[in-house]
A and B are shown apart, each in its own frame.
Chain A
Amino acid sequence: GAGVSQTPSNKVTEKGKYVELRCDPISGHTALYWYRQSLGQGPEFLIYFQGTGAADDSGLPNDRFFAVRPEGSVSTLKIQRTERGDSAVYLCASSRSGSQGTDTQYFGPGTRLTVL
């Protein structure tokens, strides 16, 4: 079927506002990852879901960031009280199981977040 999709593709917001970024993984993939990528950098890990639960949220920079995956498919990354430093491309990836090294991650096109 379709690949990983993310909406919106671009989001411009003002400092202090709340934003939600959505990720639709590949159907049947149980593992879902969120990354943040700044210009000229590689993707930086934020949080990993195995099914509905956050198996590893060690990459979330602070408590303004939160993510959910209530039914084990679609995930939403939520950022409260946005700051200019949050501006980046937020990438979502999914993989079949997330429990094997050979389990390839498939990335979505990303959401470009700009905080003014």
Chain B
Amino acid sequence: GQNIDQPTEMTATEGAIVQINCTYQTSGFNGLFWYQQHAGEAPTFLSYNVLDGLEEKGRFSSFLSRSKGYSYLLLKELQMKDSASYLCAVLSGGSYIPTFGRGTSLIVHP
């Protein structure tokens, strides 16, 4: 099986930077996704990492360390609209069906 751990809730201030961590324990790691999900809406794709290192995409960046079973999502210049749940999902064991963590609820306040 897989164990994916992320903080339940985080708060941050508009304009600031926030880092959302995800740790996982799995066999046959095949990649890691980050999704954003606003309340009552569908998850939307943010990033995919399969190699170690940092992937930057505008205000959002995602980092992966396979040896440590660790990833983070970095959000810069926070905006109120960034208030959402951020889901970490892992591919493993030769499957292309991701297993999702419980999600981190990010609250951005003025």
Contact = CB atoms under 8 A, between A and B. Distances in A.
Contact of A101 (B44, B45, B48): B48
B19 to A, nearest CB: 19
Interface stretch (A36-44, A65-73, A74-82): A36-44
A109 B41 contact: yes
Contacts of B66: none
B53 interface: no
Looking at chain A's contact residues, the main secondary structure is loop
A99 interface: yes
Given A42-B89, A43-B43, A102 B48 contact: yes
Contacts, number: 52
Given A48-B97, A107-B43, A42 B102 contact: yes
Interface in A30-55: 33, 35, 40-45, 48
Chain A, interface size category, equals: 20 to 34
A113 interface: no
Contacts of B31: 101-102
A100 B99 CA distance: 15
15 contacts: A33-B97, A42-B101, A45-B97, A56-B97, A91-B42, A99-B96, A100-B96, A101-B30, A102-B48, A102-B50, A104-B48, A105-B98, A106-B45, A108-B42, A109-B42
What are the 5 closest A-B residue pairs judged by CB atoms, nearest first?
Answer: A42-B100, A107-B42, A101-B31, A104-B45, A43-B100
Interface of B: 4, 8, 30-31, 41-45, 48, 50, 87, 89, 91, 95-103
Interface of A: 4, 33, 35, 40-45, 48, 56, 91, 98-110
